[in-house]
Homo-oligomer: A and B are copies of this chain.
Amino acid sequence: MEEEKEVQHALQFDDAIIQQQGDSDDADGVGPSDAFIREILELLENNYTDRIQELCRDISAPDAADLLVKADKEDRRELVHILEDQLDPETFSYLDYEVLNDLFSHMPDPQIAAIVGALESDDAIRMVEDLDEDRRDGIMRHLSRKVRAAVEEGLTFPEESAGRMMQREFVAIPQFWTVGKTVDYLRVAAHALPDRFYDIFIVDTMHRFTGAVMLNDLLCAQRPVKIDTLVGEEHVTIPVDMDREQVAHLFRRKDLLSAPVIDADGRLIGMITVDDIVDVIDELAEEDFLKLGGVTDSDIFRPTVATVRSRFWWLCINLFTAFADTFVINLFSNTIEKVIALAALMPVVASMGGNAGTQTLAVAVRGIATKELTAANAWRIIGKELLVGSINGLLFGAAMIGIIMFWYHDLRLGLVMAAAMIFNLAAAGFTGAVIPIWLDRAGFDPAHSGAVFLTTVTDIVGFFAFLGLATLFLM
């Protein structure tokens, strides 16, 4: 007990340890500083290759990736050339798809194959799956038989499935072993085990998976203890074709560090680890965020022309909905001609509806993603959003009357605008909740298409309600 106290107590802070992380790190210790990157790029401009090699001698893979990403296309290629022998192959697995593709397009197949071959099987598959078909074949030819087999097998699983994420290296032992035998085995077999493993999978005499043991439980147990007594209560297994989103949910719910992957015949064929899950969660969040903004995936490093192309179609769809507005407004051009103030006021009604609807849409899309919003409570949420929209409509409707009276001294115009506002905000609340729920149930992506549908509805309802009421009551 005294020993325990000694070690858990009063550790002195050592500045030297922090410093040791190198000059290339920010104050927060996350990534190379902009100053470091600028220094390297300046040295590059002046062709001080030796100095660059020296400064980057101990650069970590994520730091090197950061440096490459921040350089422009030409500098980046040159840096990879200069640092060729120094770069950890893992560096390339941190690179954005666009950046990687550009670099690879200037590298010979054998060089890329050497990089792929040095990665863990899951990283290797992730790198190869993004390549163009013909490029992929060229590189595959230069891979060792073993790596090629692993990559080829990995590519047979559906995209974004557990099979693409898993690594083929894991530790499994028979149920009847003791702690002592297990520890002895691990020491003897150390060279054949994966670099990192977080759980030991247990199999029974029929080779069936019966559970996982956490390493800390194994470490703390006495040698004669039977290994199967250490197995946790829950037996999580991941079918190889499970979607990565489901896998991520499972990891979060059960606070897993790793989980066994089984194929259709039930064989334990791989392991998924929490660090891959962290990446998946981040990617899924990125997708949803960008889709809400009208972009399918991050094109921050995509060449200009390709970016124009990827953004163009979304804007085309928006052009159609914008002209739908034009069509509605045109129906009322006589009214507008007579009460020209309507032209200046109508965007207010439409824009408030769009904003209120987007609030609801965002909350609903997120609720669907986190499974907080399912069929079990969908109608309750829709009802609440309709109510929230209506109440905000009443509040802003009242404000409208005040503003219009102050500005235009026209009560009837104020009342028309208030009524249109109430109507449009209620519609916004209702459709903002219904659209994503309906899209999700119909198998579409609620984040992406939701925003177009929604603003089409709120624009058309907004213009129609406002101009229609104006035609009825102001003419």
Contacts and interface: CB of A to CB of B under 8 A. Distances in A.
A214 B193 CA distance: 14
A60 interface: yes
Contacts of A318: 351-352, 355
Interface string A285-328: 11011101111001111001101100110110011011101110
Interface stretch (A104-112, A134-142, A379-387): A379-387
B315 A356 contact: yes
Contacts of A373: 300
A290 B345 CA distance: 28
A278 B268 contact: no
A266 interface: yes
A325 to B, nearest CB: 5
Contacts of A190: 220-221
B359 A294 contact: yes
A325 B374 CA distance: 39
Interface string A250-270: 111111010000100111100
A396 interface: yes
Interface string A179-219: 00001011101101100111000010011111000111011
The complex is assembled from copies of this chain, and their number is 2
A72 interface: yes
A442 interface: no
A229 interface: no
A293 B361 contact: yes
A28 B249 CA distance: 10
A29 interface: yes
Listed residue (A207, A351, A392) with the most chain B CB atoms within 10 angstroms of its CB: A351
A312 B395 CA distance: 9
Contact of A311 (B17, B209, B392): B392
A52 to B, nearest CB: 16
A7 interface: yes
A371 interface: yes
Interface string A347-362: 1101110011011011
24 contacts: A4-B192, A7-B173, A8-B268, A13-B262, A14-B210, A17-B208, A17-B237, A187-B221, A190-B221, A193-B216, A257-B257, A274-B275, A285-B288, A292-B292, A292-B362, A293-B363, A294-B359, A298-B363, A300-B381, A308-B391, A308-B395, A315-B359, A322-B348, A323-B403
A21 B234 contact: yes
A103 B236 CA distance: 31
Given A219-B186, A336-B343, A299 B363 contact: yes
A122 interface: no
B172 A11 contact: yes
A293 B362 contact: yes
Given A7-B203, A274-B274, A384-B307, A333 B340 contact: yes
